Amino acid sequence: MTPITLFNAKTRTEEAFVPIDPKRVRMYVCGPTVYDRAHLGNARPVIVFDTLFRLLRHAYGVDHVTYVRNFTDVDDKINDRAAATGRPIRNITDETIGWYHADMDALGALRPSHEPRATDYIAQMIAMIGVLIDRGHAYAAEGHVLFDVRSYADYGRLSGRSVDDMIAGARVEVAPFKRDPMDFVLWKPSDESVPGWDSPWGRGRPGWHIECSAMAHDLLGPAFDIHGGGIDLQFPHHENEIAQSCCAHPEADFARVWIHNEMLQVEGRKMSKSLGNFFTVRDLLDQGVPGEVIRLVMLQTHYSRPMDWTAAKAAQAEGTLRKWRGLVAGVEAGMPAPAVVAALADNLNTAGAIAEMHKLASSGDRAGLAGSAALLGLLGADMGAWATVEGPSAEVSDLVADLLTARSAARAARDFARADALRDGFVAAGVEVKDTAQGVEWTLTPAFDLERLKALR
């Protein structure tokens, strides 16, 4: 098995990945708050961690990897949407989860092993909050329960901040019932206008951070291998998850490896509705941008670097995928190429893996290309309808055959001017010609021009 190394944000070093139990590799990734369509930036962690999921399954076996990604379906944004539309909250969250599945499916993302909804784990959250209070790490105040940040000595270790620096930089009004400005909410009261559950502290609902801690513990245990999400979640969400989980279960260390993907830009600028460059995934799909193209564009940038979505990159990716699909048509996929696996195993170097796939395409290793593409979630039969084109007509096939014969004759006669003219003419007409050990292979590219081809006769 190719050794896997990953950059661990917790230790700020690249480390050899050694699972707690190779027969039960476990990963948790923070999922969406389900009140609206997923925007293009939301798609990046889905694709990044789907690719890691595929690599882990390749390395340890499909049955030995568990991937959990949650749905936050209790949140003030959802409450606001319900109040503005008059629709039931469950109706909104069910619809949004359906949209999310359809859009992420279109990107070639595998469904995680578990997709827990926060509202199904309220009892586990209440139990964990009770443990934190009993151990002196949380306190009740005015219908709220808050985590006592000063009670956890390692608070700030993940993000590299001290509590005092955080307080100095804070610009928010501090609630009077907090003992410390940095203490965060585990439970808050609910009136009759918003969802609420009975608890020892009154009718209320959970704070955001406790959700993931409770669901991860219930599904993966007190210690598991990988926790992932966008860099925007590192603080405060992930920092707070660590604090409450380690204080509730001090015998474990929660997640061993922390991985964060960088943010997304559009045409070199931060994605923003005010700038007119804000897109949902569905917007692009409806505009005719295939999900497979979106996936390839994102894979071409390493997850740890900001990723810039541009129309030029999308067009280039579409051309690459059409070429690759032409090469693997009718070919039985082989095993992923070792060089592609090695690139992915090197801190999920997807850009390096794509570069290796270009080499496979150039070398004519079509089985290796197909197998490697599958590992990256590309070229699947279920994603290829957008690239379906009719095969060359008999007229085109006969014409190309005649011109290839003419090229061979010119080479034999050492008429290199004619041979070179035919070579350049094929390129101009959108016919890709390859000389292989098995003979001459040719395919039509999206730029095919029949009239230019005829002019070569």
Q: What is the per-residue pLDDT across 323-357, written as a single tens digit (0 to 9) for each? A: 999 899 889 999 999 999 999 999 999 999 999 99
Burial group, residue 107, by CB count within 10 angstroms (0-12, 13-18, 19+): buried
- Measured distance CA(320)–CA(295) in Å, rounded: 12
Report whether pLDDT(24) > 80.
yes
Question: Which DSSP string corresponds to 148-162?
Answer: -GGG-TTTTTTTT--
How far is C-alpha 31 from the geometric centre of its chain's CA atoms? 11
Q: Are residues 219 and 317 in the same domain?
A: no
- The helix (run of H) or strand (run of E) holding residue 345 is helix 338-345
CB 378 within 8 A of CB 290: no
**Domain termination site, one of 202, 236, 261:** 261
User: Residues 126-139: pLDDT tens digits?
Assistant: 999 999 999 999 99
Q: Are residues 348 and 439 in the same domain?
A: no
Q: Are residues 56 and 200 in the same domain?
A: yes
- What are the backbone dihedrals phi and psi of residue 103, each rounded to the nearest 5 degrees, phi first? -70, -40
- Measured distance CA(281)–CA(55) in Å, rounded: 24
Q: How confident is the model at residue 194 (pLDDT cuts 50, 70, 90)?
A: very high
Task: Identify the bridge partners of residue 436 per DSSP, sorted by sequence position.
Answer: 439
Average pLDDT over residues 31-36: 96
Average pLDDT, the chain: 93
Q: Are residues 236 and 269 in the same domain?
A: no
**Domain termination site, one of 261, 276, 300:** 261
Q: Are residues 64 and 165 in the same domain?
A: yes
Q: Are residues 288 and 326 in the same domain?
A: yes
- Whose tokens are 């931060």? That residue is 270
**Domain termination site, one of 217, 236, 261:** 261
Report whether pLDDT(306) > 70.
yes
Report whether pLDDT(441) > 90.
no
Amino acid present at 211: E
CA dihedral 239, 245, 249, 253 (to 10 degrees): -50
- What are the backbone dihedrals phi and psi of residue 436, each rounded to the nearest 5 degrees, phi first? -120, 170
Domain ranges, residue 94? 5-261
pTM of the model as a whole: 0.84
Which of 146, 456, 108, 425 minimizes the C-alpha distance to 290? 108
Q: Are residues 241 and 302 in the same domain?
A: no
Q: Are residues 95 and 134 in the same domain?
A: yes
* Helix residue spans in 61-175 (DSSP H): 76-85, 89-106, 122-134, 163-169
CB 43 within 8 A of CB 291: no
Contacts of 212 (CB under 8 A, 6+ apart): 28, 30, 70, 237, 241
CB 210 within 8 A of CB 125: yes
CB 137 within 8 A of CB 147: yes
Look at the chain and count its residues.
457
Write down the pLDDT at residue 405: 87
Report whether pLDDT(167) > 70.
no
Q: How confident is the model at residue 443 (pLDDT cuts 50, 70, 90)?
A: confident
Q: Are residues 406 and 272 in the same domain?
A: no
Report whether pLDDT(430) > 70.
yes
Q: Are residues 97 and 197 in the same domain?
A: yes
- What are the backbone dihedrals phi and psi of residue 334, each rounded to the nearest 5 degrees, phi first? -95, -165
Number of domains in the chain: 3
Q: Are residues 247 and 357 in the same domain?
A: no
Highest mean pLDDT among 407-416, 427-436, 444-453: 407-416
Q: Are residues 375 and 309 in the same domain?
A: yes
